[in-house]
Amino acid sequence: MNQLLKRILMSVLGVVICGLSVGMFKFAALGIDPFQSLMSGLDAVIPIRFGTLYVIVNGILLLFSLIFDRRKIGIATVINLFLLGYIVEFSQNLCTQLMPNPALWLRVVILLVAVVILCLSSALYFTANLGVSTYDAVALVWSEKQNKLPFMWCRVICDFVCVAIGIVLLLISGMPFTELFGTVGVGTIITAFFMGPLITFFNVHVAQPMLNGRKKQ
């Protein structure tokens, strides 16, 4: 298969799987991913519509990529911006229709599956190198500019900072603890600490072999 076609398919597949995983996160209701934690905190303290706020924050992150490494902006970035929200909505609604009253154990299973496929999706469109989401670009650019710090640790630090800021902002807004841990919960902690290493694993063992073929022993 043509190399460019492979990269395009990997980018599209990565964004689609990412949207499915985020919808599963929201359905499980055991904590959302670090970037969405940050957005929830900002939304709680900034009195503008969430859609407008989301565009502003992603615009700032897009500016970061344009300044430091424009190669991170491409077809996957555009697909992410325009399709991801609809895929997330479809995924969450589908889970709700199939499992209207899920038990706690089932929500935990769905959460764990969502974490794994979210990391797989990131590895696919990182390796395709046709653009990434504006948030994903931050850790990638940082890792490439700071050669001494591997990507997985750059990602862990970025995720941890987002979670910490999100928690602080939600507490400042006066959100009750019961609601706080529904937004920033076990799923958030898992993704903050394990997304970097898992993305690296899938990059080495799935995405790169998919693009370049497996090396002969």
In the chain, domain spans = 3-210
The number of residues making up the chain comes to 217
Q: Are 210 and 135 in contact (CB under 8 A)?
A: no
Give the whole-angstrom CA distance, residue 17 versus residue 82: 15
| Half-sphere exposure in the Cβ direction for 35 (13 Å, CA) | 15
pLDDT band at 61 (very low <50, low <70, confident <90, very high): confident
Residue environment code for 26-60, b if the CB has 16+ CB neighbours within 10 A, otherwise e: bbbebbbbbbbbbbbbbbbeeeeeeeeeeeebbee
Kindly tell me if the per-residue pLDDT of 217 is higher than 70. Answer: no
Kindly tell me if the per-residue pLDDT of 1 is higher than 70. Answer: no
Mean pLDDT over the full length of the chain: 84
pLDDT value of position 110: 94
pLDDT band at 114 (very low <50, low <70, confident <90, very high): very high
Span 195-217, average pLDDT: 81
Span 55-68, average pLDDT: 83
pLDDT band at 105 (very low <50, low <70, confident <90, very high): very high
Report pLDDT digits (tens) over 121-156: 989 988 888 877 888 888 888 888 776 778 888 888
pLDDT value of position 64: 83
Among candidate residues 97, 98, 103, 76, the one with its CA nearest the CA of residue 19: 76
Among candidate residues 14, 23, 209, the one with its CA nearest the CA of residue 120: 14
Span 19-45, average pLDDT: 85
pTM of the model: 0.75
Report pLDDT digits (tens) over 149-191: 788 888 889 988 998 898 899 889 887 776 676 677 788 888 8
Least confident of 5-14, 68-77, 105-114: 68-77
pLDDT band at 117 (very low <50, low <70, confident <90, very high): very high
pLDDT value of position 214: 66
